[in-house]
Amino acid sequence: MSSKIYFITGSSRGIGLELVKQLAAKGNTVIASARNPEGSAELQKLVDDKKVFSVKLDVQSDASVKAAVDKVNEISPEGIDVLINNSGIIAPKPSVSHTAKPELWSDIYETNVVGVVRVTQHFLPVLRKKDTRQVINIGSDSGSLELANRADLNAPYHCSKAALNMFTRCLSHDLQNEKFTIVSIHPGWVITDMGGKEAALTTEDSVASMVKVFEGYTQKDNGWYGNWKGERMPW
């Protein structure tokens, strides 16, 4: 399989960092971004400015995203094949629907939804330089309305992931004539700072499975929502 050029948000730790490791190990070029990439010793161990690069990016800042686009254009003037929107935050527990403060909802949405929209819109010209044109949104089973069937859910987070799913669907329809592939994938319940120590999957296992799914994406998968095993999920 031919190598690709990936741009990944939220790459300083957790799933994002593991994506950098595994995608680079497969011979791909990876441009890893984070708010403070120099502050991640593990990320800097991977950066060689040949196959792995790091770029500063704050998804909540329009100026920061524009600067990141400029840097990516310097690193890879031929464009990128795949944008992976991995950045995300979760609300502290308990954050239920009838008591979580509106300011908290706004903060969660600014990163998990608006941040993804901002990055995607600014990077579309970079993606259009190549024929692959894939946007992979790291979603969650929390975004499934059908699976949200119990009380005391982390409402701001769940709602933000449902909104991310809808953005995925909207974008997939709006860009289908340009032969884009836009998907949302649930990585599983993963042992990270966000997922917690009681989670079922290691980052290594989750990412290894997701990368296999990534490698199989074609334009026929445009608008797909599924999990790390390649199984479709209910919206």
Q: Which positions are annotated as active-site residues?
A: 157, 161
Q: Do the bridges between strand 134-138 and strand 29-34 make them parallel or antiparallel, or are there none, so unpaired?
A: unpaired
What amino acid occupies position 143? Answer: G
196 SS3 class? coil
150 SS3 class? coil
Beta bridge partners of 189: none
| Residues whose CB is less than 8 angstroms from the CB of residue 72 and which lie 6 or more positions away in sequence, other chains included | 7, 31, 55, 80, 123, 126
What would the two tokens of residue 169 be?
């669907």
Beta bridge partners of 134: 82, 181
Rounded Cα distance between 123 and 133, Å, is 11
What would the two tokens of residue 113 be?
């939804």
